[in-house]
Amino acid sequence: MGASIGTGDDKKSVNVELNIVPFIDLMSCLTAFLLVTAVWVSIESLNIKPKGKSRDPQQIKEENEEVKLSVLITSTKIWIGQSRINEFMPIERTGDPEAYWTTYTQTLTELKKSAFFVDRGDIEIAAESLDNAVVVYQDVIRAMEIAESVGFSDVGLTDKSGLSAPPQL
């Protein structure tokens, strides 16, 4: 594609040719990446709110009045604890992964039916690596998805120190 720019009657014309093919190639590649990421973002989305203890004393007083449900995922166990009661249920992560995820689902379902959590949907989840054994990110996501499917609509992600009911490991 070319363009002719005239400079006047007494001077020679200057011909300019713009090659826009690389720009079209770049735009088509960027469009493909945009479409792929737009579809991926709409498919895989998890709504979470940060949870955990606050440094504001007024908020700490209000939060201590009700029982909080905390989940800690380690490389060997899944700890489910309730604040104020200090009751912890460990689920061993050995053997078949479907077995301990089924136990986790059943435990959360029973807790959701209890008097403490029947009208509430808040839960806080954390992960911690112990003894150089790494907790897989997919396990944290699966724990959050199971909690949401059981009926806990307000799933929060925090670290171990932010849990309302941290187990003593």
Rg (CA), the chain: 28
| Predicted pLDDT of residue 43 | 55
Give the pLDDT confidence of 55-92 residue by residue, as tens digits.
Answer: 555 555 555 567 888 898 888 888 888 887 777 888 88
The tokens describing 92, both together, are 């061993």
Domain parsing of the chain, residue ranges: 2-43, 49-162
- Is the pTM value of this prediction over 0.75? no
The tokens describing 38, both together, are 């737009």
| Predicted pLDDT of residue 25 | 92
| Predicted pLDDT of residue 30 | 92
CATH no., domain 49-162: 3.30.420.10
When mean pLDDT is compared across 27-36, 79-88, 138-147, the lowest value belongs to 79-88
pLDDT above 60: residue 103: yes
Rounded Cα–Cα distance for residues 128 and 115 (Å): 29
| Predicted pLDDT of residue 75 | 84
